[in-house]
A and B are shown apart, each in its own frame.
Chain A
């Protein structure tokens, strides 16, 4: 493979790390991580029906192969000292000409490896799950092809060594997500949901594109190492602009306020898609982007503050919406939004938060994916019912689902010793660090969020698995097949123990230190740590208790009661659609309509009206149908007059 050239050139220095070595040994095969799933997607898409029989198994196998390779690279990396862990793999000179030079290359460092392992492991598990879940779907080959495409694009996103190549992966995951949300496109609402996701993501992509151009204009390069090295010499205004644009990009991809509206609708896609793309991996790409760009954000406190604000708003927003949703997947989506809000918040706090943002991201990848798969299993057993008011007392009928879901539930609540406790508690602690008003506002937002999270997740858990049976008459809930339950068990094991392994040992912090910099101890939260931990646990217990009273002990009505004003607002996603419609859609529609007015609709016999070109009077003009040459000529004349007039005035 001549593509894999080792190149000693083009290696900048990370601002706070050591010189990145060219890839050696196992790491020089890193390109295969992306190539394997991509090959799977290509075979399945271009092979057509011929691959129907073996395609899904092949796709799953290639994804596992990618994980295996990722694990080998990981162990090779473990064997090196901290300073030598990051390695770069030069692929080819993408744009070596003229004034902008871009090398296509991969950056294999601890941060990207954490993502590689998460994406390939959870992704492969979900592919296995899909073997069972999609067994009867006539289009399942296409589904597996898209999932493989997604895995490849996501790996490219996290392994890229420049913003430009990251952007390729960024677009790739967006495309795969779009294709998968609309996978069951026979349902028009699903197609609409796909469109909504697409539009929100375009707004985000716009941010990334502008950020790249600003980087190019400011630093003359878009590679991570080049940008990081040049940040010191740039002026604050451009850094803030770049930071805000990157944040916009992150908001679009990670469903953060104010671009959060698409995630709930994206649940129209098949459940494994929700688990993989809209919970565990793709939606966390925004957090990755912010952490990866930490040098820029650290140089611009304004942009950093905006990150924290966005995170705090979203975590509360998602949590409140989650309290009122009766659709199990939409409730989980709201929860995803809220948890990513936590990660954003942590990522905006600076060096004290980066490691915990990524830690929470990894934990969340496991427990949320597990819960989504659990929800899929429940739907599978209940004939695709998603209304939690029609569930209840499923714990007896679906034992494995119940236990695995329960472990995920304890993890997200932050009950020790399950994984969520180790990361979320640390984020809350970090939010309380600082001076002035900031720790109080952000700290309490995170703390209250934890309580609300406990309430809505317990509500979801109790309504589904406990209380009285509220099943439809023809429902026969049953446990799902092995191919579905095994991935759930594995993910549940992860949600239970991963935090314990990585958290108290400090493994995750020391692992990420070479990338995100060393956090200097010294500052402590404005409230003492033991007090905070106790307070957090009390708030969580209160949320859990409230949910127990209302959704386990008391009867849950099958039809949702009208509810109070806040409840109704939360059901409507806090009116986000109404706001979007008023702010974005309506003016857009009007703009389109008024522009169409000048456009010609259809063509009619205009030939006879040539005379009007010379002698058109205003009364005739009023009757002019679009499509007439005279109106075109008048448009031109009008344009000339306006431009000349404008230039005249300007002069």
Chain B
């Protein structure tokens, strides 16, 4: 809380400063290319409409209206992204830069968010979204909660909340200066903190996760701001392009530059769950409602990697010899720790959390290629991983023991016998995580690792291949558990999902397969989208 407040005061102070140093003699209104920022405008507008729906629509209709509004909004945003192809360039006085990577990532976020919304909308046989509590404000186990359940209350506000987060995520990789990036970071994070605490079952765990995420998020934001302040001190501007120019000309202020870069990176690495800034990941992934976990694992990661790419490639690549060693260490630690720690997990959600940590490390190796090929391989990886991971978490939410999610691994034993299709889909996704050929995971890994090898990061690729070998053991163990062990009990079974989850899982699995067999269209697109504008 304190860290967050200080962050906010820092924000206003810095804005004042940048105004002062710029010293415009006359106020000139900035030109705004509305076509360029239309995707984000559509999302934010839809989220606002969602708030109004929450206020005015009758309770019985809210669910249907909210889901439809959210999906329509995302569809509209996707259209706006496509229109935005003709509006590339810097706008809003350099605060937002719409270029190839930004548009690619925004499109990815919109599509993945639509799948996540579908997974969140799953009702099974209840009245509201199944994963979410009837009333977030009621204390777990209280009379108030019971009353809310009796009254058939549902938390349909999750849909506008998710859209606000999506808006922040879309701004994140398009931010042209560090302040905009920080605002985007907070806009995407705050709704996620709330969403994490709204689980219907095991609510204490969920609320704890939410608070942990908030506290640590605030902590990392402070690092980000501190780093931004140092970089401002170095370059006299928050703008990434100006910082890049300053690195070429400015000398003798490295004492501000290098710590500034590293501290900003800490704030960003926190969001992708890189070691040693990963501690929140398993707890939050486990505590949050499962569809929200999928949403975070896929969309947040896409957005945060977009921001990392922009910050590094546009802003500070010129000084990379001074700080890449630190990032190498983080990448290696992330891959190894993620893979090794996944081995001892007994909870499927925690296991997938560590898996996502390891994947963050793999993507980092692509980032560290410092080349156009590195960018396109990272873009491809993010899409591939996003589709697989949303589908995987959606399947986790379907496997139930007596109504509650069966997250302990022992409960997954023998799932293949009773539910061959569900277990088969999950096994396929696990093979993709493991990077077995003919899945998107293999193509993605091959892309980032070969980019790393081709640009002098062979060590990273070797560590990456080693850790994926370790991680593969984990995934195959689950497959063996599902297919070769006797079922743990009669009570565990996969609930038949509604059309929403079915669509989300099917699209996820099909994309995982398609990107393994015919990755070329997306690789092409990623290659064409890999040019950052300053």
Contact = CB atoms under 8 A, between A and B. Distances in A.
A631 B212 CA distance: 11
B420 interface: yes
A98 B376 contact: yes
Interface in B439-474: 443, 446-447, 449-450, 453-454, 458, 461-462, 465-466, 469, 472-473
Given A98-B524, A644-B259, A635 B279 contact: yes
Given A199-B473, A592-B340, A595-B337, A210 B259 contact: no
A202 B450 contact: no
A206 interface: yes
B527 A636 contact: no
B520 A603 contact: no
Interface string A22-61: 0000000000000000000000000010000000000000
21 contacts: A97-B520, A98-B524, A178-B476, A191-B484, A195-B473, A198-B473, A205-B469, A206-B466, A209-B465, A213-B449, A213-B453, A213-B465, A595-B337, A603-B287, A605-B208, A632-B279, A633-B216, A636-B219, A639-B266, A640-B266, A651-B258
A213 B461 contact: yes
A600 B282 contact: yes
Closest 5 CB pairs of A and B: A639-B276, A632-B279, A97-B523, A97-B520, A168-B437
Contact of A613 (B215, B447, B520): B215
Given A205-B469, A639-B277, A647-B322, A48 B484 contact: no
Given A167-B437, A213-B453, A629 B340 contact: no
B450 A606 contact: no
Contacts of A633: 215-216, 219
A96 B476 contact: no
Interface residues of B, number: 72
Interface in A214-228: 214, 216-217
Contacts of A206: 465-466, 469
Interface string B1-20: 01000000000000000000
- Kindly name the residue among B462, B465, B485, B521 whose own CB sees the greatest number of chain A CB atoms within 10 A: B465
Contact of A636 (B216, B341, B376): B216
B347 to A, nearest CB: 10
Contacts of B446: 100, 213
A154 to B, nearest CB: 15
Contacts of B340: 591-592, 595
B325 to A, nearest CB: 5
Interface in A597-651: 599-600, 603, 605-607, 610, 613-614, 627, 629, 631-633, 635-636, 638-640, 642-644, 646-647, 650-651
Contacts of A178: 476
- Kindly name the residue among B254, B276, B447, B469 whose own CB sees the greatest number of chain A CB atoms within 10 A: B276
Contact of B473 (A167, A202, A639): A202
Contacts of A100: 446-447, 450
Contacts of B246: none
A647 B325 CA distance: 7
B70 to A, nearest CB: 31
A202 B472 contact: yes
B447 to A, nearest CB: 8
A636 B259 contact: no
Given A217-B450, A647-B258, A632 B212 contact: yes
A633 B222 CA distance: 12
- Kindly name the residue among A93, A210, A213, A605 whose own CB sees the greatest number of chain B CB atoms within 10 A: A213
A603 B476 contact: no
A538 interface: no
B531 interface: no
Interface in A84-120: 93-100
A124 to B, nearest CB: 26
Interface residues of A, number: 62
A100 B276 CA distance: 33
A203 interface: yes
B450 A216 contact: yes
B323 interface: yes
Given A217-B454, A640-B263, A640-B266, A99 B373 contact: yes
Interface of B: 2, 205, 207-208, 211-212, 215-216, 219-220, 223, 254, 258-259, 262-263, 266, 270, 275-277, 279-280, 282-283, 286-287, 322-323, 325-326, 329-330, 337, 340-341, 343-344, 373, 376, 420, 436-438, 443, 446-447, 449-450, 453-454, 458, 461-462, 465-466, 469, 472-473, 476, 480, 484-485, 517-521, 523-524, 526-527
Contacts of B286: 603
A161 to B, nearest CB: 15
Interface string A568-612: 000000000000000000000001100110011001011100100
Contacts of A607: 207-208, 211
Nearest to B266: A640
A210 B462 contact: yes
B437 A171 contact: yes
Given A97-B519, A178-B476, A643 B337 contact: no
- Kindly name the residue among A48, A94, A646 whose own CB sees the greatest number of chain B CB atoms within 10 A: A94
A636 B277 contact: yes
B176 to A, nearest CB: 26
Nearest to A606: B208
Contacts of B287: 603
Given A198-B473, A636-B219, A644-B259, A217 B520 contact: no
Contacts of A191: 480, 484
Nearest to B265: A643
- Kindly name the residue among A199, A596, A631, A636 whose own CB sees the greatest number of chain B CB atoms within 10 A: A636
Interface string A176-214: 001000100100000100110011001101100110011
- Kindly name the residue among B207, B212, B219, B458 whose own CB sees the greatest number of chain A CB atoms within 10 A: B212
Contact of A646 (B270, B282, B329): B329
Contacts of B277: 635-636, 639
A639 B219 CA distance: 13
A191 B486 CA distance: 13
Given A195-B473, A202-B473, A632-B216, 12 more contacts: A94-B518, A98-B376, A175-B436, A178-B476, A185-B485, A209-B449, A210-B465, A213-B450, A213-B461, A216-B454, A607-B207, A651-B322
- Kindly name the residue among A93, A203, A606 whose own CB sees the greatest number of chain B CB atoms within 10 A: A606
A603 B205 contact: yes
A603 B276 contact: no
Contacts of A164: 437
B485 to A, nearest CB: 8
Nearest to A602: B347
Contact of B480 (A93, A182, A613, A650): A182
A182 to B, nearest CB: 6
A182 B484 CA distance: 8
B276 A636 contact: yes
Nearest to A168: B437
B325 A646 contact: yes
Nearest to A651: B322
Given A171-B437, A592-B340, A596-B344, A647 B326 contact: yes
A591 B333 CA distance: 13
Contacts of A638: 276
Interface in A522-570: none
- Kindly name the residue among B2, B436, B524 whose own CB sees the greatest number of chain A CB atoms within 10 A: B436
Contacts of A93: 520
B524 A595 contact: no
- Kindly name the residue among B279, B472, B523 whose own CB sees the greatest number of chain A CB atoms within 10 A: B279
A262 to B, nearest CB: 14
Contact of A629 (B215, B473, B527): B215
B453 to A, nearest CB: 5
Contacts of A647: 258, 262, 322-323, 325-326
Contacts of A643: 262, 266, 326, 329-330
- Kindly name the residue among A171, A199, A605, A610 whose own CB sees the greatest number of chain B CB atoms within 10 A: A171
A51 to B, nearest CB: 14
